[in-house]
């Protein structure tokens, strides 16, 4: 009986330790290495990242590409919301991450991370008007207002927001590769 009690005590202790380790683990840092809870690498550069402006037309990606990023300068919007829409056009999306930040890295306006999305259309929405301020009058460090982690991170690219979409997918039963279409609302400044 004493051995059983010792075994149960040791087993319970190990179980509690494993639970504590698992609950302290950061989010999937492979897809979101910039997340504040992921281990960081030290960089000494103060140069802004070189990222292309977002296109004015919807963006098409196939699973082989894995991710897309661009700098988004939203047109003035009357509803005060920013929305990134990802629609599965073919194949099957097995993992999807949508993130809008001030920069790369930078404060986070919105992040959606899904294993296998249930719907063929996924939206990530965030505020472009917040507590009497709006993005168009105060674009630099905009996401700091919406980030759930305290503190301000650098906004290297200035006014534009930084969009990053990561996804993985597989072919459908007809052999078509996973393909998604990304749309921005409001659209990129300069769009028609």
Is residue 25, in this structure, part of any structural domain at all? Answer: no
Is residue 52, in this structure, part of any structural domain at all? Answer: no
Domain count for the chain: 1
**pLDDT for res 74:** 96
**pLDDT for res 192:** 47
Residue spans of beta strands (DSSP E) within 8-127:
59-62, 67-72, 81-90, 92-101, 108-114, 121-127
Q: Residue 144 is part of a domain; what is its CATH number?
A: 2.60.120
Query: pTM of the full predicted structure?
Result: 0.72
Tell me which residue range forms the domain holding 76: 59-185
Question: Which residues, 6+ apart, have CB-to-CB distance to 40 below 8 Å?
Answer: none
Among 139, 61, 133, 136, which Cα is nearest to 101's?
A: 139
- For the residues 53-71, what does the mean pLDDT come to? 88
Question: Which residues, 6+ apart, have CB-to-CB distance to 155 below 8 Å?
Answer: 102, 103, 106, 107, 140, 141
Is residue 123, in this structure, part of any structural domain at all? Answer: yes
Is residue 16, in this structure, part of any structural domain at all? Answer: no
Is residue 146, in this structure, part of any structural domain at all? Answer: yes
pLDDT tens column, 88-114: 999 988 899 999 999 988 999 999 998
Is the pLDDT score of 145 beyond 90? yes
Q: How confident is the model at residue 147 (pLDDT cuts 50, 70, 90)?
A: very high
Is residue 113, in this structure, part of any structural domain at all? Answer: yes
Q: In angstroms, rounded to a whole number, what is the distance separating the alpha carbons of residues 65 and 60? A: 10
Q: Is 188 helix (H, G, I), strand (E, B) or coil?
A: strand
| Residue for token pair 């979409």 | 165
Question: Which residues, 6+ apart, have CB-to-CB distance to 31 below 8 Å?
Answer: 95, 97, 113, 166
């Amino acid at each position: 009986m004493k051995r059983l009690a010792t075994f149960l005590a040791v087993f319970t202790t190990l179980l509690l330790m494993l639970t504590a380790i698992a609950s302290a683990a950061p989010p999937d840092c492979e897809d979101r290495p910039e997340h504040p809870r992921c281990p960081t690498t030290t960089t000494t550069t103060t140069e802004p990242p070189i990222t292309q402006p977002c296109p004015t037309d919807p963006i098409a990606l196939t699973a082989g590409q894995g991710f897309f990023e661009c700098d988004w300068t939203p047109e003035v919007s009357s509803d005060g919301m920013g929305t990134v829409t990802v629609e599965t056009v073919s194949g099957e999306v097995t993992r999807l991450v949508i993130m809008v930040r001030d920069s790369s890295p930078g404060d986070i306006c919105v992040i959606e991370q899904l294993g296998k999305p249930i719907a063929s259309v996924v939206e990530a929405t965030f505020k472009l008007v917040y507590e009497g301020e709006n993005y168009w009058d105060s674009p630099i460090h905009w996401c700091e207002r919406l980030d759930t982690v305290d503190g301000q991170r650098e906004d290297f690219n200035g006014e534009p927001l930084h969009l990053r979409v990561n996804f993985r997918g597989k072919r459908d039963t007809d052999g078509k590769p996973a393909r998604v279409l990304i749309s921005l609302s409001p659209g990129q400044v300069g769009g028609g």
